[in-house]
């Protein structure tokens, strides 16, 4: 897509949304046909402006969630976190009213503070350690890095990670039944009364999480080396964490911004001209990149802190590049980790990770898109690291036990500081060394048009339906419709050669399919892969008569 003329430029008044109207429409708009509850890879998302994220949605989701917990005998506390999006505040009130009415005990950050996604995951696992009953679970009210007008709601069961589709399908189906019945089955109590009840407990979630960071990151090494760390919280839910981290461990951390504003007026525009708090985008991160010479490592996170952006004096690192460096470092600097731990990556992450994993003698587990596929491995301590190309990852504690089973942007940021402290080289310098050893891949993602029937064909494709034998001048070595790491359907197609690959997946919301591609032979070869990829997909559409 074309880069917007103001991409990377500061937000101006005309870019800002009307927050009072956004909140008003949350309470007054009703779900329209086609705008019912829909759980994607990261929960239910939408906006009250178009009736896709309203009080009705959250009433129904929370009632369904309470019923699901009861059906599974989940009787422990539910940890509730929110980010700094405007709709998160309203959805939090709705959630408390419904969950308390259903007898669910809630633990929330004292003072109505914000709570990052990884902190909720960590709190669930900490509570549940050694227990077989009275297990905790949690929700995070966030649309992640999405624009200010959006809202989001996701559920983490007792394993601490994103809920799998068997859970979200159940909740989605029941929530939509409740909406269809005019919400007649929803229990609700008044918010103030709910908060004054014994079922809502305000707790400090910050210090316990911070105190435990030394079990996953070598904080002493960072402090001893005096690594200069810059942090731009991008107005997100981790805003109160960095000062506590600095004080607890004696780190040299400078917060470059402390502003929280639901319009996100302090941002620079993303590549399409929208306000989007994407910490992996050089356009959204332009402000922090401009300060790169001031710090050894600078860190940015999205509003719910499950993603990371790493800035070195060389600039913002590509997420794929940083994942490869993190894997190479962790598996060679964690002596207590088992030699049997696997490296987890999504199918659309860089093949540089494959080459790194092979070089350190570790098995690679390649899974479909979605962090949920790493949950079991992280929870059971069999997967040392799980990461996806969209800058989300987590890894085990230094002793090889589970830390979080959801993406943790805080530890990925601090890991960049540890790498710098321990090796004397920042992560970008480490990636340069990897390219000298394995080659320098080029990677991209584009969109191509696809009708509804065409998307259905692509999602259900059989590898034998692909007749092509070569791709961009090289023999095809793999045609995948199921992930090698776990045999799960990828909902699309991946085609590989020795020096390149592409993956095609239908969008769940738009009339397009996404093409991810990578080449170890340069930009010209990459463009050839993209051209032939679209031709291969078009042939499958033609053969299916759509």
Q: Which two tokens stand for residue 204?
A: 């400090």
For residue 313, the tally of other CB atoms under 10 A from its CB is 14
Is residue 23 packed enough to be buried (19+ CB in 10 Å), middle (13-18) or exposed (0-12)? middle
86 close to 148: Cβ distance less than 8 angstroms: yes
CA 23 vs CA 16, 51, 80, 139, 394: distances in Å = 14, 12, 20, 21, 34
Q: Are 396 and 341 in contact (CB under 8 A)?
A: yes
* Listed residue (479, 513, 514, 519) closest to 501, CA to CA: 519
Looking up tokens 């019912």 gives: 36
Distance CA 372, CA 164 (A): 6
Greatest Cα-to-Cα distance within the chain, rounded to the nearest angstrom: 68
Radius of gyration from C-alpha coordinates of the chain: 23
State the alpha helices, DSSP H only, in 75-158.
86-101, 117-128
Phi, psi of 170 (to 5 degrees): -65, -50
Distance of CA 39 to the CA centre of its chain: 15
Contact 49, 149 (CB under 8 A): yes
SS3 annotation, 277-332:
CCCCCCCCCHHHHCCHHHCCEEEEECCCCCCEEEEECCEECCHHHHHHHHHHHHCC
Going edge to edge, which strands form the sheet with 512-519? 442-449, 512-519, 500-506, 489-496, 478-482
CA–CA distance, 538 with 450 (Å, rounded to integer)? 9
Decide: helix, strand or coil at residue 372. helix
**SS3 state at 230:** strand
Please state at what angle helix 409-423 crosses helix 117-128, rounded to 10 degrees: 90
335 sits in the region (left: phi over 0; alpha: psi -120 to 50; else beta) called alpha
Whether residue 303 contacts residue 234, with contact meaning beta carbons closer than 8 Å, is answered with yes
DSSP state of 139: E
Q: Please pick, among 48, 88, 90, 144, the residue that the annotation labels catalytic.
A: 144
- Give the tokens for residue 262: 């639901």
Residue with tokens 């291969």: 536
Please name the residues in contact with 479: beta carbons below 8 A apart, sequence gap of 6 or more.
463, 466, 493, 494, 495, 496
CA distance 155 to 221: 35
Q: Is 144 a catalytic residue?
A: yes
- Residues noted as catalytic: 144
């Amino acid at each position: 897509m074309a880069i917007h003329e103001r991409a990377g430029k500061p937000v101006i008044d005309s870019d800002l949304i009307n927050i009072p109207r956004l909140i008003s429409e949350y309470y007054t708009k009703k779900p329209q046909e086609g705008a019912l509850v829909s759980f994607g890879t990261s929960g239910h998302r939408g906006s009250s402006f178009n009736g896709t994220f309203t009080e009705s949605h959250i009433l129904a989701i929370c009632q369904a969630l309470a019923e699901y917990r009861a059906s599974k005998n989940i009787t422990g506390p539910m940890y509730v976190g929110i980010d700094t999006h405007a709709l998160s505040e309203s959805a939090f009130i709705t959630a408390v009213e419904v969950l308390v009415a259903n007898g669910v005990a809630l633990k929330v950050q004292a003072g109505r503070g914000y709570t990052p996604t990884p902190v909720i995951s960590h709190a669930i696992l900490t509570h549940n350690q050694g227990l077989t009953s009275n297990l905790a679970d949690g929700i995070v009210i966030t649309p992640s890095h999405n624009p200010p007008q959006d809202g989001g709601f996701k559920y983490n069961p007792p394993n601490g990670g994103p809920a799998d589709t068997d859970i979200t399908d159940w909740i989605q189906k029941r929530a939509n039944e409740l909406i269809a019945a005019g919400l007649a089955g929803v229990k609700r109590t008044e918010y103030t009364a709910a908060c004054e009840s014994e079922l809502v407990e305000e707790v400090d979630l910050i210090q316990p999480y911070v105190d435990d960071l030394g079990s996953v990151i070598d904080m002493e090494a960072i402090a001893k080396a005096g690594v200069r760390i810059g942090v731009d919280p991008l107005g997100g839910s981790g805003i109160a964490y960095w000062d506590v981290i600095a004080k607890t461990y004696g780190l040299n951390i400078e917060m470059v911004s402390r502003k929280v504003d639901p319009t996100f007026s302090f941002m620079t525009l993303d590549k399409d001209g929208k306000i989007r708090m994407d910490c992996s985008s050089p356009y959204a991160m332009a402000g922090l990149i401009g300060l790169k010479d001031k710090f050894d490592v600078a860190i940015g996170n999205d509003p719910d802190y499950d993603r990371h952006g790493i800035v070195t004096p060389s600039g913002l690192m590509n997420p794929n590049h940083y994942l490869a460096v993190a894997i190479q470092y962790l598996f060679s600097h964690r002596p207590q980790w088992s030699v049997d731990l696997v490296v987890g990556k999504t199918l659309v992450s860089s093949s540089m990770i494959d080459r790194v994993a092979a070089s350190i003698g570790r098995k690679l587990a390649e899974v479909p898109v979605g962090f949920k596929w790493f949950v079991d491995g992280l929870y059971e301590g069999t997967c040392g690291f799980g990461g996806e190309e969209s800058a989300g990852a987590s890894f085990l504690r230094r002793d090889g036990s589970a830390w979080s089973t959801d993406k943790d942007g805080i530890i990925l940021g601090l890991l960049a500081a540890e790498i710098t402290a321990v090796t004397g080289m920042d992560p970008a310098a480490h990636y340069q060394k990897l390219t000298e050893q394995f080659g320098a891949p080029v990677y991209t993602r584009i969109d191509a048009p696809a009708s509804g029937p065409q998307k259905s064909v692509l999602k259900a494709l059989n590898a034998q339906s692909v007749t092509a034998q070569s791709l961009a001048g090289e023999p095809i070595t793999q045609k995948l419709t199921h992930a090698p790491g776990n045999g799960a359907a990828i909902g699309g197609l991946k085609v590989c050669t020795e020096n390149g690959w592409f993956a095609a997946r239908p969008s769940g919301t738009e009339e397009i399919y996404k093409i991810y591609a990578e080449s170890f032979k340069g930009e010209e070869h990459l463009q050839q892969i993209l051209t032939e990829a679209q031709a291969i997909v078009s042939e499958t559409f033609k053969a299916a008569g759509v």
